[in-house]
């Protein structure tokens, strides 16, 4: 492939256009020739003479009309004297006779005749001429001037400009448009050779004519007389007026309007301003409007990087984009048009012969004709939010510049991990996956992977699973325990992990089971949550009621729990559908010490005129250590609300990152552990029917939520669990995010105490009882100690339970590993 020629025109060969940003030099003769210059001069004189004659005739008419009005002969009427007659007074009943007598007297009085009035007379020729001019002027006003737009509308009108969505670092993710994909670029960002190419093929006299070209009109007239159609002869100014202010109908009336408006535009705007508006207005084929989008569509580059050969090809498109398109059925026509542009550039001395040869040898590389979209699920998520706020019309035509919260480098990493790991999980009948990466402190969405492949139509890849209803499994237990710890329960509370059946009137009996089919007897709340035991969670929920958990879930960000009649005790095991993004918000509430952040997808929105429409000024308020500080977080600037005691949030954080408490169920070195970051909090969940598997985890900086399953709701393999399904994806994403981050311990809120307790009873320790340290709210710390008799009883019950379970000697079947 030949080397691209980035050749600029020789300034010496184009002094009249290259100097001072293509300013007018006044050397008109060098452009149009002496004969045509004389013709133009005589035409101007003739136009002035006709205008003078019309003005003089109008003045004479108005003068005579004034004389007729103001010099009208004065008419003096003689004074009339009516003799006074005395009529005898009659009674009111005879008043009618009195009136008749007066009328009779008036009829007998004779008035002198009025004097004759002589009006000035106009000659018939003048009257006809005056009527003809009046009709002509009225017709001209009615058909041409009436409703003619103002030239200033070129800058005040609403231009159809594409909306652009960027990531937080300025990476373009997607362009939204309806019919016209347009990006406004100033003239100083358009290279000189691009401008010269357009001038050469469209309007070489642009910088010298007054808006219309006499030579062009005459040439087009002769051509039209031969062909019998109205075409051609338009300058760049006329084309701008036609495209922006008028219709494209081919009539004499529209052509006259076009010329009048073109002259008006030339009087209002400079030549450079007109050229800039034209290059941003004209169509280059398809939905590409303006030179910037043309460069992107055909060559996948900005206009500032176009070579001379590429500029010549684009300059030839506006005349007939379909005919000359390199993507059309006859691409050779476009190349022939390109050579014509280069030839005219040489004729007008914009470039040299060497430039022409180099450009003709250059092999053009066209952009692939495909949809250019990055982070598609996130883009569509943002688009919907914009439409809800600004309306469809503004989003598609308003030229919004949208800076989002997304970090495309994180997005790409997450997309690759999801795709690779889901392919590995195909043996477990897992066909899809989704992931969210959130800034824990601000709620900013850093990555959103709605499926393994957006363009996989067979698997409904365009469906964004992060915003769809799925069953969360045991990952929802944090809401149950958040309410419990806020209402008297402690991490040391002893729960019963024994078989139970709940009977509710009008409903079948409900018997919850653990994922492993085993029972632990008496177990602390810390161990029950860390090991994700199901029966203790259901018993805790039964102790205070489903409605309280629903209310707590709504406070923490769950938006789909609106009908209490739909839910029962299985709610704490994932029996209520939630959105992954809502579940992530509930966990983000813990990460922010009980303050629920509003998830943010947009940082700033401006229009193409650089007017700021919205800007996120929320400051980071994570790490609140007391309820007093929570008042600051609840201010509107951060749109966050304190919904949970910071101390309760810390207790849940401490339990969920307790690897020793988790070890009996998940092992010590599972993929729930991020090496070097023991501050990471994590919880898994698997639905009872094996259709959904989730892992959600966070530290002070990042929150990652992952789902795997199938879009058609088919079940996964029985081997699939919280550890084997979503966790590998979560682990890889979290490791990548924290690779260069330091470990930071969680701050301890005010109002907590850590004291030694008896591991068996959850009370203060006594002699013979194994002890451990545990956190308590100051008002909920234990006041009583255990006793020896109680300890012996607990030990005996534990030994008997272990004896019953030991003879089984089997590995639990995967079928039982649900809701973990």
User: What pLDDT was estimated at residue 629?
Assistant: 46
3-state SS track over 697-751: EECCCEEEEEEEECCCCCCCCCCCCCCCCCHHHHHHHHHHHCCCCCCCCCCCCCC
Reported confidence tier of residue 63, pLDDT bands at 50, 70, 90: low
Identify the band that residue 337 occupies on the pLDDT scale cut at 50, 70 and 90: very high
Torsion, Cα of 384, 389, 393, 397 (10° steps): -80
251 pLDDT exceeds 80? no
Lowest model confidence (mean pLDDT) among 197-211, 221-235, 259-273, 732-746: 221-235
What is the value of pTM for the model shown?
A: 0.75
Average pLDDT over residues 654-667: 92
Residues 111 and 248 in one domain: no
CA distances from 131 to 47, 126, 242 (A): 21, 9, 33
Domain of residue 15 covers 11-32+179-361
Contact, 8 vs 193, CB < 8 A? yes
**pLDDT at 309 > cutoff 90:** yes
Residue 636 pLDDT > 60: no
Judge residue 726's burial from the number of C-beta atoms within 10 Å of its C-beta, 0-12 exposed, 13-18 middle, 19 or more buried: buried
Residues 131 and 187 in one domain: no
More confident residue, 42 or 503: 503
Contact 713, 465 (CB under 8 A): no
Mean pLDDT computed over 777-787 = 92
Among the ranges given (6-20, 65-79, 208-222), the one the predictor scored with the smallest mean pLDDT = 6-20
Mean pLDDT check: name the lowest of 267-276, 548-557, 618-627: 618-627
- Residue 626 is predicted with a pLDDT of 41
* Residue 327's pLDDT band (cuts 50, 70, 90): confident
Query: Going by DSSP bridges, is the β-strand pair 702-709/432-439 parallel, antiparallel, or unpaired?
Result: antiparallel
Question: Under 8 Å CB-to-CB from 718, ≥6 apart: which residues?
Answer: 690, 813, 814, 815, 817
Confidence (pLDDT) at 37: 43
pLDDT at 621: 41
Residues 139 and 260 in one domain: no
225 and 357, same domain (yes or no):
yes
Question: Looking at residues 118-132, what average pLDDT do you find?
Answer: 68
Number of CB atoms found within 10 A of residue 65's CB: 11
With a cut of 60, say whether residue 11 has pLDDT above it: no
- Does residue 113 or residue 118 have the better pLDDT? 113
- 349 lies in the same domain as 305: yes
pLDDT of residue 506: 74
pLDDT (mean) for 60-82: 49
Q: Using CA atoms, how far apart are residues 310 and 324, in angstroms rounded to an integer?
A: 13
pLDDT for 368 equals 81
What was the pLDDT predicted at 93?
47
Among 166, 145, 563, 622, residue whose Cα is nearest residue 404: 166
| Residue 443 domain-assigned (yes or no) | no
Average of pLDDT values for 761-773? 91
Write down the residue that tokens 């002769």 correspond to: 222
Note whether 186 and 321 are same-domain residues: yes
Among residues 121, 145, 169, the one where a domain terminates is 145
Give the least confident one: 166-175, 340-349, 797-806: 797-806
Average pLDDT over residues 27-39: 43
**What pLDDT is stored for residue 21 in this prediction?**
39
pLDDT surpassing 50 at residue 556? yes
pLDDT surpassing 70 at residue 85: no
End-to-end CA distance of the chain: 59
Which of 100, 126, 145 lies at the terminal end of a domain, its last residue? 145
Say whether pLDDT at 710 is over 60. Answer: yes
Is residue 543 in a domain? no
Q: Residue 807: pLDDT above 70?
A: no
Q: What is the pLDDT of residue 47?
A: 53
Average predicted confidence (pLDDT) for the chain: 81
For 638, the 3-state DSSP assignment is: coil
Residues 732-756, mean pLDDT to the nearest whole number = 96
| Averaged pLDDT, 518-529 | 94
Domain-embedded: residue 608: no
Residues 356 and 231 in one domain: yes
Mean pLDDT of 54-80: 50
Separation between Cα atoms, residue 291 and residue 293, nearest integer Å = 6
Domain assignment present for 298: yes
Our count of domains for the chain comes to 2
Same domain, 102 and 15: no
Q: Give the CATH number, domain containing residue 28.
A: 1.10.3810.10
CA 709 from chain centre, in angstroms, equals 29
Top-ranked range on mean pLDDT: pick from 529-543, 632-646, 761-775, 788-802: 529-543
Structural domain includes residue 356? yes
784-815 residues labelled b (16+ CB within 10 A) or e (exposed)? eebbeebbeebeeeeeebeeeeeeeeeeeeee
pLDDT above 50: residue 186: yes
Q: Taking 50 as the threshold, does the pLDDT of residue 29 lie above it?
A: no
Based on the fold, state whether residues 28 and 54 are members of the same structural domain. no
Q: Are residues 135 and 211 in the same domain?
A: no
**Among 361, 396, 413, residue at a domain's last position:** 361
Q: Report yes or no on 376 lying in a domain.
A: no
Evaluate if residue 166 carries a pLDDT over 90: yes
Domain contains 582? no
Neighbours of 418 (CB within 10 A): 26
Best-predicted range by mean pLDDT among 84-93, 402-411, 709-718?
402-411
* Percentage of the residues of the chain whose pLDDT score is greater than 90: 53
Greater confidence (19 vs 281) lies with: 281
The residue among 711 and 18 whose pLDDT is bigger is: 711
Mean pLDDT of 513-517: 88
Q: State mean pLDDT over 595-599.
A: 95
pLDDT score of 646: 97
What interhelical angle do 236-244 and 271-281 show, nearest 10?
50
Together in a domain, 62 and 184:
no
Q: What does the pLDDT average to over 536-562?
A: 96
pLDDT tens figures, 458-481: 888 999 999 999 999 999 999 999
Residue matched to tokens 């409007």? 289
Residue 588 domain-assigned?
Answer: no
Query: What is the predicted pLDDT for the residue at 141?
Result: 61
Same-domain pairing of 295 and 345:
yes
Q: Which of 80-89, 719-728, 778-787 has the least mean pLDDT?
A: 80-89
């Amino acid at each position: 492939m030949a080397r691209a020629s980035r050749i600029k025109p020789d300034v010496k060969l184009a002094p009249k256009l290259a100097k001072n940003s293509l300013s007018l030099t006044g050397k008109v003769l060098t452009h149009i020739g002496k004969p045509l210059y004389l013709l133009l001069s005589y035409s101007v004189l003739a136009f002035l003479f006709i205008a003078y004659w019309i003005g003089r005739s109008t003045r004479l008419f108005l003068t005579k009309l004034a004389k007729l009005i103001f010099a009208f002969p004065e008419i003096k009427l003689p004074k009339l004297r009516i003799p006074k007659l005395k009529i005898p007074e009659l009674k009111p009943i005879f008043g009618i006779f009195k009136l008749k007598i007066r009328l009779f007297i008036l009829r007998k009085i004779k008035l002198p005749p009025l004097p004759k009035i002589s009006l000035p007379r106009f000659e018939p020729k003048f009257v006809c001429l005056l009527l003809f001019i009046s009709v002509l002027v009225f017709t001209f006003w009615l058909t041409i001037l009436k409703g003619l737009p103002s030239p200033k509308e070129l800058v005040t009108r609403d231009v159809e400009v594409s909306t652009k969505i960027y990531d937080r670092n300025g990476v373009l993710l997607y362009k939204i448009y309806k019919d016209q994909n347009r990006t406004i670029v100033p003239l100083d960002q358009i290279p000189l050779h691009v401008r010269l190419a357009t001038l050469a093929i469209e309007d070489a006299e642009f910088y010298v004519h007054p808006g219309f070209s006499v030579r062009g009109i005459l040439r087009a007239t002769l051509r039209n007389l031969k062909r019998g159609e109205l075409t051609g002869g338009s300058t760049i100014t006329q084309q701008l007026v036609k495209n922006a202010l008028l219709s494209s109908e081919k009539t004499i009336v529209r052509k006259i309007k076009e010329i009048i408006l073109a002259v008006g535009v030339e009087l209002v705007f400079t030549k450079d301003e007109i050229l800039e508006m034209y290059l941003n207005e004209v169509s280059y084929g398809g939905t590409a409007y303006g030179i910037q989008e043309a460069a992107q569509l055909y060559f996948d580059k900005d206009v500032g990087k176009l070579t001379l050969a590429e500029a010549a090809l684009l300059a030839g498109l506006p005349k007939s984009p379909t005919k000359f398109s390199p993507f059309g059925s006859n691409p050779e026509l476009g190349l022939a048009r390109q050579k014509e542009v280069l030839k005219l550039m040489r004729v007008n001395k914009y470039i040299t012969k060497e430039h022409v040869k180099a450009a003709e040898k250059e092999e053009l590389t066209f952009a692939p004709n495909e949809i250019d979209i990055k982070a598609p699920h996130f883009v569509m998520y943002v688009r919907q939010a914009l439409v809800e706020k600004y309306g469809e019309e503004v989003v598609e035509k308003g030229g919004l510049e949208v800076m989002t919260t997304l970090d495309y480098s994180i997005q790409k990493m997450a997309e690759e991990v999801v795709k690779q790991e889901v392919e590995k999980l195909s043996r477990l009948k897992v066909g899809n996956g989704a992931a969210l990466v959130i800034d824990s402190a601000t709620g900013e969405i850093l990555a959103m992977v709605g499926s393994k492949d957006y363009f996989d139509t067979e698997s409904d890849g365009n469906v964004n699973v992060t915003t769809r209803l799925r069953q969360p499994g045991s990952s929802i237990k944090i809401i149950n325990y958040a309410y419990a710890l806020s209402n008297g329960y402690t991490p040391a509370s002893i729960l019963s992990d024994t078989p139970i059946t709940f009977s509710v009137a009008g409903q079948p009996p409900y018997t919850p089971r653990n994922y492993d089919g085993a029972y632990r007897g008496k177990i602390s709340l810390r161990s029950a949550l860390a090991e994700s035991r199901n029966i203790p969670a259901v018993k805790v929920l039964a102790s205070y009621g489903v409605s309280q958990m629903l209310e707590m879930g709504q406070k923490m960000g769950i938006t789909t729990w609106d009908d209490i009649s739909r839910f029962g005790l299985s709610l704490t095991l994932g029996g209520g559908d939630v959105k992954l993004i809502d579940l992530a918000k509930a966990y983000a509430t813990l990460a922010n010490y009980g303050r629920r952040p509003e998830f943010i997808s947009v940082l700033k929105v401006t229009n193409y005129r650089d007017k700021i429409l919205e800007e996120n000024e929320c400051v980071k308020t994570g790490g609140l250590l007391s309820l007093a500080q929570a008042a600051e977080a609840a201010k509107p600037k951060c749109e966050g609300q304190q919904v949970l005691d910071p101390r309760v949030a810390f207790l849940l954080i401490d339990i969920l990152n307790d690897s020793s408490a988790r070890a009996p169920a998940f092992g010590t070195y599972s993929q729930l552990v991020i090496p070097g970051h023991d501050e990471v909090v994590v919880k898994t969940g698997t639905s009872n029917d094996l259709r959904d598997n989730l892992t959600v985890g966070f530290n002070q900086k990042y929150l990652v939520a992952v789902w795997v399953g199938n879009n058609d709701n088919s079940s996964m393999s029985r081997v699939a669990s919280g550890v084997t399904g979503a966790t590998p994806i979560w682990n890889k994403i979290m490791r990548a995010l924290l690779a260069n981050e330091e470990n930071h311990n969680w701050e301890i809120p005010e109002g907590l105490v850590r004291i030694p307790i008896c591991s068996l009873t959850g009370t203060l320790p006594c002699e013979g009882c194994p002890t451990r340290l545990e956190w308590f709210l100051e008002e909920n710390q234990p006041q009583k100690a255990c006793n020896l008799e109680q300890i012996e009883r607990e030990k005996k019950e534990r030994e008997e339970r272990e004896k019953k379970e030991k003879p089984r000697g089997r590995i639990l079947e995967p079928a039982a590993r649900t809701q973990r």
